[in-house]
Amino acid sequence: MNQESSVTGAERLLLVLTALASHGKAMSVRDMLGATGLAQSTLYRQVALLKRWGFVTEDAGYYAPGPISLQLALGFDINSMLVEASREGMMQLSRTTQESVGLVVAVNDQVICLEMIESTHSLRCSFEKGRAVPLRAGASAKSLLAFMADKARSETLERQFAGDDAARAALEAELEHIRARGYAVSDSEVDPGVWGVSAPVFRRVSRGAGASASITLMAPSSRAAGREQQLAGWTVRTANAISARLQAA
């Protein structure tokens, strides 16, 4: 889809950076054209500017985030209040359950993992830090959607389910149930054999503004069987404790 006429010059730079950040490996020009929807001449101008400032690096015709992008990532790790407030609780939850625990947020209709505490089991489920998946299916996505501010959720669902009213209505009914229960659960919904539970984290006492993030516990379905309620309870308590810590800051 061509986005040339619908974005500003600054947004074109951001389209390129977002594509590189979410791709997970170096990209060819063809890859970037498909991901950004920009015209080739426009793409080359944006890449040249980003290379000059160190945000993008090139090797044999493939492009990746540059050293300045790394400095931004390191600065985020050091200075993120959300990550800092969450890490201790996530580590405790992982030790208690012996499973992997992630901190996820919703950005640009995607679920992005900000922090990950790995299970000590040789067989484990994980969501690589910095990776992104569509904000549509799975416990993490549904927790973020369910506890999102009403206006933001409506706009997100409109984009995700344009022309598919039945699928949107079904998901909205599920999200209402998740809000009433306080957490989301999925089993093999995104990846086969992976069970997950996700609970919201709030920065503000008033929840009308929506959740800032979600805490997600992931485990092989076979190991979660029979422990679902226990794992969900621990995850909700961890998310609530992190919310309290953020609100007291």
pLDDT means over runs of 10, the chain (249 residues): 61 87 85 90 91 87 83 67 92 96 90 90 77 88 96 91 90 96 95 95 81 95 96 98 91
Q: What is the pLDDT of residue 5?
A: 54
Task: Annotate the chain with DSSP letters as a single string.
Answer: ---GGGS-HHHHHHHHHHHHHHHSS-B-HHHHHHHH---HHHHHHHHHHHHHTTSEEEETTEEEE-HHHHHHHHHHHHH-HHHHHHHHHHHHHHHHH-SEEEEEEEETTEEEEEEEE--SSSS-----TT-EEETTSSHHHHHHHHTS-HHHHHHHHHHHTTT-HHHHHHHHHHHHHHHHHTSEEEESSSSTTEEEEEEEE-SSS-GGG--SEEEEEEEEHHHHTT-HHHHHHHHHHHHHHHHHHHHH-
The CATH T-level fold of domain 4-71 is Arc Repressor Mutant, subunit A (1.10.10)
Q: How many Å apart are CA 101 and CA 115, to the nearest integer?
A: 8
77 pairs with which residues across the strands? Answer: none
- For 80-248, the fitting CATH number among 3.40.50.2300, 3.40.50.10240, 3.30.450.40, 3.40.50.2000 is 3.30.450.40
Q: What is the pLDDT of residue 168?
A: 94
Q: What is the pLDDT of residue 76?
A: 67
Instruction: Name the CA dihedral angle for 167, 168, 172, 178, rounded to a multiple of 10 degrees.
Output: 60
Q: What is the pLDDT of residue 150?
A: 93
Q: What is the pLDDT of residue 14?
A: 87
Distances (CA, A) of 185 to 66, 143, 243: 37, 8, 20
Q: What is the pLDDT of residue 132?
A: 79
List where CATH 1.10.10.10 sits in the chain: 4-71
List where CATH 3.30.450.40 sits in the chain: 80-248
Q: What is the pLDDT of residue 152?
A: 92
Q: What is the pLDDT of residue 17?
A: 86
| Nearest of 49, 74, 54 to residue 64 by alpha carbon | 54
> What residues contact residue 139 under an 8 Å CB cut-off, 6+ apart?
184, 185, 186, 189, 196, 197, 198, 216
